[in-house]
Amino acid sequence: MTADVTSVTAPAQAEPVALAAFEALVRARRATRHFLPDPVPDNLLARILDAARWAPSGYNLQPTHIFIARDARLRAALVPACMGQSQILEAPLTLVFAGDRRVRPAHFERVLEMERAAGNLPEHYEARLRGVVPLAFDRGPLGLAAAIKAVFAPLRRLLLPTPAIPALDMRFWLAKQAMLSAMNTMLAATAAGLATVPMEGFDGGRARRALRIPRRFEILLLMPIGYAAPGTLTKTRLPLSGLVHELPMVDRSASRP
Ligand SMILES: Cc1cc2nc3c(=O)[nH]c(=O)nc-3n(C[C@H](O)[C@H](O)[C@H](O)COP(=O)(O)O)c2cc1C
């Protein structure tokens, strides 16, 4: 499952049974806080991380990096940054989902090259990407370009539709990308009989220093992973009808708590 190119031919050929299996998988995933000490087999871990790689990302820039905290002392050092959450000690591994603030210089040309080689980059699209991506991502020396964008984006928005600019809120952009990889990871882990817990309860700066991760990486989510300790984990969800809204909205009371 590690090939770097994948093709899908539309229309999708999925059988209804695939959806039923997926629904069962989605419901079987539980945020798990107690783990057995048993290690995660390397072959399963590799497949789970590969599922993370196949998550979508904006412009296919693939900014999400996953650091593996396996060493017990390293995990112990991380716990205080997570307000003492002990699942990090119990699980044999913690995956650290981080976003690369320098993804534009790091990946853009490589991704263009790969897409071109795969016959997936018409000239007009490449030209568009070469215009849009630097505009959206580059902060310039001393953040000067970002400062200019911060002034002009709201003015431009008065006249023209203007999307959010990653250069102005990189953490937000990186978090969106990383969460998609994280979800793939959690579902793949569930399919492999493993358990996970996504964690945002940590101090980013302290976690980065405890794990000795370079500053260019923004830590976005921690995810202990391992075999669940015996026990039943039950969860509830609000009714779908209160969370899904047909547009245009007729009953505006739905927007009130
Ligand atoms: C972004 C995010 C951050 C979370 N942070 C924590 C955390 O720091 N510690 C924790 O024990 N659980 C954390 N959770 C787990 C949630 O409490 C859990 O997903 C929720 O109660 C629903 O339960 P379920 O995942 O078993 O369906 C987090 C979940 C998400 C999606």
Mean pLDDT for each 10-residue chunk of the chain (257 residues)?
78 79 96 98 98 98 98 98 97 98 97 95 96 94 93 94 94 98 98 98 97 98 98 96 93 65
Quick check: helix, strand or coil at residue 209? helix
Angle between helices 42-53 and 170-191 (to 10 degrees): 140
Report the largest interatomic distance among the alpha carbons of the chain, rounded to a whole angstrom: 59
Mutation to probe ligand 1, out of 96, 174, 181, 199 (largest number of atoms < 8 A from CB):
199
Alpha helix locations (H) across the chain?
16-28, 42-53, 72-78, 87-90, 103-117, 123-137, 144-159, 170-191, 204-211
Ligand 1 proximal residues by C-beta, below 6 Å: 30-31, 33, 85, 197-201, 235
Which residue, judged by its Cα, is nearest atom 16 of ligand 1? 31
Mutation to probe ligand 1, out of 197, 237, 238 (largest number of atoms < 8 A from CB):
197
Cα 3 to averaged position of ligand 1 atoms, centre (Å): 32
Q: Confirm if 31 and 59 have CB atoms less than 8 A apart.
A: no
Cα 42 to averaged position of ligand 1 atoms, centre (Å): 25
Quick check: helix, strand or coil at residue 52? helix
Quick check: helix, strand or coil at residue 143? helix
Token pair 């050092």 is found at: 77
pLDDT of residue 3: 73
Q: What is the distance between the alpha carbons of residues 149 and 143, in angstroms, rounded to a whole number?
A: 10
CA nearest 186: which of 177, 175, 195, 178? 195
Which residue, judged by its Cα, is nearest atom 20 of ligand 1? 31
Give the full edge-to-edge strand order of the sheet including 64-69.
64-69, 93-100, 217-226, 195-196
Q: How far is CA 228 from CA 92, 143, 148, 193, 202, in A?
A: 11, 46, 50, 9, 22
Cα 31 to averaged position of ligand 1 atoms, centre (Å): 6
Which residues neighbour 155 within 8 Å (Cβ) at sequence distance 6 or greater? none
Cα 96 to averaged position of ligand 1 atoms, centre (Å): 15
Which residue, judged by its Cα, is nearest atom 19 of ligand 1? 31
Q: What is the distance between the alpha carbons of residues 201 and 187, in angstroms, rounded to a whole number?
A: 21
Q: How far is CA 35 from CA 53, 89, 173, 218, in A?
A: 25, 9, 32, 27
Cα 172 to averaged position of ligand 1 atoms, centre (Å): 19
Q: Which atom from ligand 1 is nearest to the alpha carbon of 233? A: 26
Which residue, judged by its Cα, is nearest atom 30 of ligand 1? 198
Q: What is the distance between the alpha carbons of residues 91 and 229, in angstroms, rounded to a whole number?
A: 10
Cα 82 to averaged position of ligand 1 atoms, centre (Å): 13
Cα 202 to averaged position of ligand 1 atoms, centre (Å): 12
Q: Which CATH number fits domain 37-253: 3.40.109.10, 3.20.20.80, 3.40.640.10, 3.90.550.10?
A: 3.40.109.10
